Amino acid sequence: MRYFTLSLFLVFTYCNLFAQQSDPWYAFYNQDSTLIGFKDGLSHVKIKPKFEGVTRANRFDDILAATEKNNGQWNSFYLTKSGRKIGHDSLHIIDNGADCESEGFIRFRDPQTYLTGLFNRNGDIVIPAMYSGLTRVHNGLLVALKGATKKRVGIDSLITWVGGEEILLDTSNNVIIADFKYQPTLNFFSLQKTKELLDDPARISFVGNDGLHYSFINFQKEFENWLKTDLLVDLTKSKLLTATYPKVTWETSIAWETSDKIVFIEHNFDLIKNKLMEITNSDTDYFISADGLNPFMFDTPEFQKYFNNCGESKDWQYPTMSIIISHKNKKDMVQDHLEFLRTDEGYQLLCVTIRKGQLK
């Protein structure tokens, strides 16, 4: 009985320790908001504020990029939850900010070759720095640019990679598809592997190294197909309500407002329906734009799932699709915007701007 009790104690202790290490930590600042530290979900300080610069993760899941100053010297590295520091002076910088963890992986750059590799959550190199570029990991997959050359381009003479070939990898550096043309509107979470080519207008297929067909939903094709074969077919108020987010943000003549979807559709159904039906006319000047959720407009807790732990829109899983309709007159051109967010329940109308007509 004592052995049994001890065994249970060890199991529970192990589970508790594992849970504590797996729970996210949250960023907080020092008094003058110059240094960042991290607390657990119970507000216990796990790391005192000491990071600055490119450290931008607001949630510490497994691994993050960090910079700190010691004795007047800047130090940059990757930090794991266990406290391991790796990848010194090899941060992967994008738009003046360091890379953000994705599915427990984070990219790094060799400071000598400028080639890119991948760390896992434990700080181990799972893909060596051998690629000109890597995308973030999505559904265990990532696209690599191989064999490109550095070149100065544009009026600012920015250094970028030119040429090379794109391949699809898994996180163990296995080549899944040798000839893979990357498209930002591909949904990697929709992957299907089949012997025969699927007949689906919303999918784009590639032949893998194993001879199988790897197909992915293209968000833009998916959205356009849903519009034409579903939403716009006998569009009723009830149907539009189902395809509308619980709250709709819309632009007035002086500001933005947010309304309950029932109130908004009740007041504006005829106008919204007419705008949507315009795109069924061959002479309508419109296009569909893919983007991500605006983090400044949609910053309430209900939208948290649509952003990663650096506050970036997860457009690789929850993109926004905007129908932009142009109207020309003798003096200028105005555009109406109807923005749909891809949710787990399907595409839903989220944000509306009407220039030709008036919302209420």
Fold for domain 232-353? Nuclear Transport Factor 2; Chain: A, (3.10.450)
**In the chain, domain spans:** 22-182, 232-353
Question: What burial letters (b/e) apply to 252-279, b meaning 16+ CB within 10 Å?
Answer: eeeeeeebebeebbeebeebbbebbebb
Please report the pLDDT score of residue 11 as a whole number. 39
Cβ–Cβ < 8 Å for 57, 101: yes
Q: Is the pLDDT at 13 greater than 70, yes or no?
A: no
Please report the pLDDT score of residue 15 as a whole number. 40
From residue 138, how far is each of 168, 179, 311, 344 by CA, in Å? 11, 18, 17, 17
Q: Is the pLDDT at 225 greater than 50, yes or no?
A: yes
Name the percent of the chain lying above pLDDT 90: 79
As a whole number, the mean pLDDT across the chain is 90
Question: What digits encode the pLDDT tens for the residues 323-337?
Answer: 999 988 767 888 999
Q: Is the pLDDT at 355 greater than 80, yes or no?
A: yes
Q: What does residue 22 show for φ and ψ, rounded to 5 degrees?
A: -85, -25
Query: Is the four-CA dihedral 108, 112, 115, 120 of positive or negative sign?
Result: negative
Q: What's the burial of 16, exposed, middle or buried (CB within 10 Å: 0-12/13-18/19+)?
A: exposed
Please report the pLDDT score of residue 52 as a whole number. 87
Please report the pLDDT score of residue 188 as a whole number. 98
Q: Is the pLDDT at 19 greater than 50, yes or no?
A: no
Query: Which tokens hold the place of 218?
Result: 């293209």
Q: Per-residue confidence at 156, pLDDT binned at 50, 70, 90?
A: low
Higher pLDDT, 335 or 358: 335
Query: Which tokens hold the place of 88?
Result: 């010194």
Q: Is the pLDDT at 257 greater than 60, yes or no?
A: yes
Please report the pLDDT score of residue 4 as a whole number. 37
